[in-house]
Amino acid sequence: MTAPSTSPATAKSTWASRTVVNTLLALVALYTLMPLSWLLVNATKNNGDLFGRPGFRLAEFNLFSNLADLFAYQDGIFGRWLANSMLYSVAGALASTLISLLAGYAFDKYAFRGKEKLYGLVLLGILVPHTVISLPMYLMASQTGLVNTYWAVLVPGLVNPFGVYLARVFAESYVPGETLEAARIDGAGELRTFRSVALPMLSPAFMTIFLFSFTGSWNNFFLPLVMLNDSALYPVGLGLFNWNATLAQEPQFYAFVITGSLLSIVPLAAAFVALQRYWRSGLTAGAVK
Amino acid sequence: MTPRPGIGRRSTPVLFIAPFLILFLATLVAPVGYAVWMSLFREQATSGLGFGGTRTLFVGVDNYLRAFDDPGFRRGFLHVALYCVIYIPVMVGGALLLALLVDSAMARAKKFFQLAFFLPHAVPGLIAAIIWGFLYTPGLSPVIDLLSSIGVDWDFLGPDAVIFSLVNAAAWQWIGYNMVIFYAALQAVPRETLEAATVDGAGELRTGWSVKLPMIRSSVVLTMLFTAVGAIQLFNEPEVLRSRASSISQDWSPVMFIYQAAFTEHDYGLAAAASLMLALLGAALSFVITRLGNRWKEA
pLDDT for res B172 = 97
Taking 50 as the threshold, does the pLDDT of residue A289 lie above it?
no
**From the CA of A223, how many Å to the nearest CA of chain B?**
11
Q: Among A1-5, B183-187, B292-296, whose mean pLDDT is lowest?
A: A1-5
What is the per-residue pLDDT for A116?
92
Backbone angles phi, psi at B43, to 5 degrees: -80, 135
CB contact under 8 A, A155 and B262: no
Which helix (H) or strand (E) is B56 found in, with range? strand B54-58
Within an 8 Å CB–CB cutoff, is residue B27 touching chain A?
Answer: yes
Which residue range is the domain that position A264 belongs to?
70-286
The pLDDT assigned to B4 comes to 47
| CATH code for the domain in which residue A264 is found | 1.10.3720.10
Chain A residues near residue B135 by CB distance under 8 angstroms? 35, 38
Q: How many CB atoms lie within 10 A of CB A4?
A: 9
For an interface test with B, give the residue of A27, A132, A229, A234 to mutate (most B CBs within 10 A): A132
Distance from CA of A158 to the nearest CA of B (A): 7
Model confidence band, residue B145 (pLDDT cutoffs 50, 70, 90): confident
pLDDT tens-place string over residues B107-117: 888 889 998 99
Q: Dump pLDDT digits (tens) for A130-171.
A: 888 888 999 999 999 999 999 999 999 999 999 999 999 999
Q: Would you call A105 an interface residue with chain B, using a CB distance cutoff of 8 Å?
A: yes
Q: Does A186 touch chain B (CB under 8 A)?
A: no
Q: Is the pLDDT of residue A2 over 90?
A: no
A42 domain residue, yes or no = no
Please name the residue of chain A whose CA is at the shortest distance from the CA of residue B144. Answer: A55
Q: Sort out which chain A residues have CB atoms less than 8 A from B4's CB and list them.
A: 184
Mean of pLDDT over chain A: 88
State the pLDDT at residue A288. Answer: 42
Give me the residues paired with residue B57 across strands: B42
pLDDT (0 to 100) of residue A248: 86
In whole angstroms, give the CA distance from residue B146 to residue B153.
Answer: 10
What was the pLDDT predicted at A224? Answer: 95
In a domain, A131, yes or no: yes
Determine whether the interchain pair A32/B240 forms a contact, defined as Cβ–Cβ distance below 8 Å.
no
CA end-to-end distance (rounded Å), chain B:
48
The verdict on residue A235 lying in a domain is yes
Which domains occur in chain B, in start order? 61-298 (1.10.3720.10)
Q: Does residue B94 contact residue B176 with C-beta atoms inside 8 Å?
A: no
Taking residues B201-227, what's their average pLDDT?
84
Q: Does A287 touch chain B (CB under 8 A)?
A: yes
Residue A175's nearest CA partner among A206, A197, A208 is A197
| Model pTM score | 0.88
Instruction: Say yes or no for a CB contact (<8 Å) between A110 and B286.
Output: no
pLDDT of the residue at B18: 94
Instruction: Give CA–CA dist A93/A228, Å, rounded.
Output: 20
The answer to whether B31 contacts A158, with C-beta atoms less than 8 Å apart, is no
Q: A79 CA to chain B: closest CA distance, Å?
A: 17
In tens, the pLDDT along A8-36 reads: 666 777 788 888 889 999 999 999 999 99
Task: Average the pLDDT over B206-215 and give the result.
Answer: 85
Q: Residue B13: closest CA among chain A residues belongs to which residue?
A: A106
Please indicate if any CB of chain B lies within 8 Å of the CB of A12: no
Please tell me the distance in Å from B51's CA to the nearest CA on chain A. Answer: 22
Q: Count chain A–chain B contacts defined by CB atoms under 8 A.
A: 256
pLDDT digit string (tens) for B257-298? 999 999 999 999 999 999 999 989 888 887 887 777 666 655
What is d(CA A153, CA A92) in angstroms, rounded to the nearest whole number? Answer: 9
pLDDT at B179: 93
Closest partner CB to A128 (pick from B15, B26, B279) = B279
How do residues A192-240 score in pLDDT, each as one tens digit?
A: 889 888 999 999 899 989 988 998 899 899 999 999 999 999 999 999 9
Residue A285's pLDDT band (cuts 50, 70, 90) = low
Give residues 256 to 285 of A whose Cβ lies within 8 Å of B: 257-258, 261, 264-265, 268-269, 271-273, 280, 283-284
Q: Which residue has the higher pLDDT, B49 or A129?
A: A129
CB A160 within 8 A of CB A212: yes
Helix (H) or strand (E) segment spanning residue B61: none
Q: Is the dihedral angle over the CA atoms B150, B154, B156, B161 positive or is it negative?
A: negative
Does residue B119 belong to the interface with chain A, where contact is any CB pair within 8 Å?
A: yes
Among partner residues A136, A185, A245, which is closest to B38 by beta-carbon distance? A136
Q: What is the mean pLDDT of residues B120-131?
A: 93
Chain B residues 53-82 within an 8 A CB cutoff of chain A: none
Average pLDDT over residues A67-77: 93
- 3-class DSSP assignment, residue B175: helix
Would you place residue B5 in the very low, low, confident or very high pLDDT band (cuts 50, 70, 90)? very low
Of all residues in chain A, what percent carry a pLDDT higher than 70?
A: 92
* Tally of domains within chain A: 1
Whether chain B has a CB inside 8 Å of the CB on A135: the answer is yes
Any domain includes A7: no
Predicted local confidence at residue A177, as pLDDT = 87
